[in-house]
Amino acid sequence: MDQNLINTVNRLQVGPNANPIDLPQITVVGSQSSGKSSVLENIVGRDFLPRGSGIVTRRPLVLQLINRRPTKPTEVNGSAKEGEDKGEQTNETNDEEWGEFLHVPGKKYYDFNEIRQEIVNETDLKTGKNSGISAVPINLRIYSPHVLTLTLVDLPGLTKVPVGDQPKDIEKQIKEMVLKFISKPNAIILAVTAANQDLANSDGLKLAREIDPEGNRTVGVLTKIDLMDEGTDVLDILSGKVIPLRFGYVPVINRGQKDVTSNKSIKAALEFEKDFFEKHPSYRSKAQYCGTPYLAKRLNGILMNHIKTALPDIKTKIENTLKKYQNELINLGPAELGSPSNIVLSTITEFCNEYRSILDGKGQDLSSNELSGGARISFVFHEIFYNGVKALDPFDQIKDVDIRTILYNSSGQTPALFVGTAPFEFLVKKQIHRFEDPCLRCVSLAYDELVRILNQILSKPQFNRYPNLKDKISNVFISFLRKAQEPTNKLVSDIVAMEESYINTAHPDLLKGQQAMAIVSERLQLSKPVQLDPKTGKPLPNQQSASQQSTPTTSTISTKSDDVFGGFFSNFFASKNKKRLAAMEPPPSVLRASGQMTERETMETEVIKLLIQSYFSIVQRTIADLVPKSITLNLINYSKEEIQRELLEQLYRQDGLDELVKENDFTVQRRKECQKMVEALKKASEIVTSV
Ligand code: GDP
Ligand code: MG
């Protein structure tokens, strides 16, 4: 029963997707060349680990021993051979042993020398040949009827001085790697110390104590007993008088370098070990507690205890993992497909419902970290577009000098006496056209958001199941949106064109000409330096009306002589060369205002500017209001209402329905894996519950 439990628990680790459950593992820790690899090899009973002096083990090796019960010949050969003589076949083929590497899937290594070679190659691959180390483990499974079911981890030995290409901090690096493995709470630590070395100097024990000070999961292993000076032994250590360990120490003898070179078999080595302990005067009386077989038994017992205490935890873990896989299975959908037309129909419906609810802000995965769906579109409208429109300033382009020129031009041959609507309209129209760009940009931003929603929906797992259908939905949706974008662009362009086509000077919100004049004159007056009463030294009361004011800011007062001789254009040009005036030269080919403005010009310019500003902001408000509505009408609501019809039209009537609903390979594969895992976990759960 107990072995059965470990077997089952181990079988879970053998699942296709690594380990759903963190199981106890036996790790070795000790100085370099203390005999760690040799101990592991003896436990396995086979020759396959690179061993020797120097740093041989340079990557962690996760070694799973899996006890394979010898199969009966009938099981091996199947029912066809049932009638034949079975006697001779019993010892054949059925006690095969082999290894499998995780990085070489599917290959069985029957030759253990080949396994060793593969470990060496794989080590060099990751670390280079010159003594470098790597924390990336090599995973090896050994299937054999002769091993107990255990997971062992061989680790590089603790070393102090860097050699070869090793980095300066090799000691720290190895220590950290070892710590990573032995500090897992489920690690059983095999602290290996060579017996011909002082136990107090044991790096392995030191590190094990750091991690497991109570010694709850540490077993001491003393190697190289055979190399001890005659007359010395480890009895003191074994009896716990030197450094006590809860689980005690096991003395072992591995093959020495000479045995390795001469290819001494493990069997012979184990016999030698047994003999040694049984005959040695110090160990004779407790020989059954010495040697590799005892160590293996002891480890198995410890492992068993460990599993038993961890059982409640393992149980919940199994249950949780089971639930996880069952849920995934549900999400992957049932293996039996409905009819293709039903699948297409329901997928389209699901897509459209999802699309609508995301736009309406009723999506299932409402996030609190970021805006999504409809809220993002709202951001485009109310932040990006609104600010873009607000940022347009008509006076980026209209300069005072232009206004002045237009004022003169619009008066034509007859000098004007008041501000006319013509120059105002001319200037405003030109500015309104500038709204077209931000409007079209707003359409394109809204379009992008809709595509974003599309991708958001299609990234959900249920849509991954049928990649062809997913692609098709995406294509149809995008070309549908492109088509809808045209009338939307047209509509917003038309809104701008409408504004341009008719300047509504009777708009109730537009500043009246008189109001504008009053505001301007007040402003001009305020900016005039304050005049002081020469008698009192106090500011003079401002009694003059705006029209009587004579000192505008932007221009100086025209002199009387200018008024007399200058005529209508007297202030239009800066230089007034009297000689030229007298000569009555024809006007230059380009006539532009350059002189200082008269009070009246300033006034008119400022009034026009004020009116432009007032009208421009009316248009700004109208456009900021209408464009989002147009986009909503022609793009968003339109897609919301029409996409389902479009998808059905494009997809449902298609002949290739079967092709559309071809399941993704991953889904098929994953479903199989999940089913296997669910089965394995259910079995495990049953066994764990019955313990
Ligand atoms: P690791 O670095 O800790 O993995 O040590 P190895 O297992 O590679 O062994 C280092 C060297 O010590 C090898 O040459 C082994 O043959 C030798 N060795 C290990 N254990 C024993 C032992 O119990 N007795 C003898 N005589 N030699 C051993
Ligand atoms: Mg080693």
State in Å: Cα 198 to ligand 2 middle: 20
* pLDDT tens profile 570-609: 555 555 566 666 667 676 676 666 667 777 778 888 888 8
State in Å: Cα 155 to ligand 1 middle: 14
Q: If you take atom 28 of ligand 1, which residue's CA is the nearest one?
A: 256
Query: Top-level CATH class of 22-69+95-294?
Result: alpha beta
Find out whether the beta carbon of 254 lies less than 6 Å from any atom of ligand 1.
yes
Contact 607, 513 (CB under 8 A): yes
Q: Residue 159 CA: which ligand is closest?
A: 1
Residue 157: name the closest of 148, 166, 147 by CA: 166
Looking up tokens 């313990």 gives 691
Report residue 590 as tokens. Answer: 């380009």
For the ranges 44-48, 75-79, 265-269, 287-291, the one whose mean pLDDT is highest: 287-291
Pairing of strands 98-101, 187-194: unpaired
Rg (CA), the chain: 46
Helix (H, G, I), strand (E, B) or coil at 144: strand
pTM over 0.85, yes/no: no
Contact 131, 58 (CB under 8 A): yes
User: In this structure, what DSSP letter does residue 218 have?
Assistant: E
* CATH number for domain 340-525+593-654, candidates 3.40.50.2300, 3.40.1390.10, 1.20.120.1240, 2.60.40.10: 1.20.120.1240
Q: Residue 194 CA: which ligand is closest?
A: 1
The ligand 1 atom at the shortest distance from the C-alpha of residue 154 is: 4
Find out whether the beta carbon of 227 lies less than 6 Å from any atom of ligand 1.
yes
Element (H, E) at 154: strand 150-154
For the ranges 87-91, 150-154, 398-402, 502-506, the one whose mean pLDDT is highest: 502-506
**Rounded to whole angstroms, how far apart are CA atoms 512 and 106?**
89
Report residue 298 as tokens. Answer: 């002891």
| 17 has a pLDDT exceeding 80 | no
Residue 616: name the closest of 397, 446, 440 by CA: 397
Q: Residue 196 CA: which ligand is closest?
A: 1
Contact 99, 136 (CB under 8 A): no
Q: Could you give the angle at which helices 467-501 and 421-432 cross, rounded to 10 degrees?
A: 170
Name the phi and psi angles at 183, rounded to 5.
-85, -5
* pLDDT tens profile 452-509: 999 999 998 778 888 899 999 999 999 999 999 999 999 999 999 999 999 998 899 9
Contact 221, 205 (CB under 8 A): no
Q: What is the DSSP string of 628-687?
A: HHHHIIIIIIHHHHHHHHHHIIIIIT-TTHHHHTPPPHHHHHHHHHHHHHHHHHHHHHHH
| 295 has a pLDDT exceeding 50 | yes
Count Cα neighbours of 128 within 13 Å in the Cβ-side half-sphere.
8
User: In this structure, what DSSP letter does residue 409 have?
Assistant: H
Find out whether the beta carbon of 38 lies less than 6 Å from any atom of ligand 1.
yes
The full set of domain ranges for the chain reads: 22-69+95-294, 340-525+593-654
Q: Determine which of 38-52, 368-382, 407-421, 431-445 has the lowest per-residue pLDDT on average.
A: 407-421
Give the alpha-carbon dihedral of 658, 661, 666, 667, to 10 degrees.
-120
The ligand 1 atom at the shortest distance from the C-alpha of residue 30 is: 3
User: What CA–CA distances, in Å, run from 514 to 55, 210, 506?
Assistant: 98, 92, 14
Contact 290, 42 (CB under 8 A): no
| Helices (H) then strands (E): counts for the chain | 25, 8
Q: At 560, is the pLDDT very low, low, confident or very high (cuts 50, 70, 90)?
A: very low
Q: If you take atom 8 of ligand 1, which residue's CA is the nearest one?
A: 51
For the ranges 147-151, 238-242, 367-371, 403-407, the one whose mean pLDDT is highest: 238-242
**Residues that place a CB less than 5 A from ion ligand 2:** 36-37, 57
pLDDT value at residue 9: 58
* pLDDT tens profile 346-365: 899 999 999 999 888 776 55
State in Å: Cα 157 to ligand 2 middle: 6
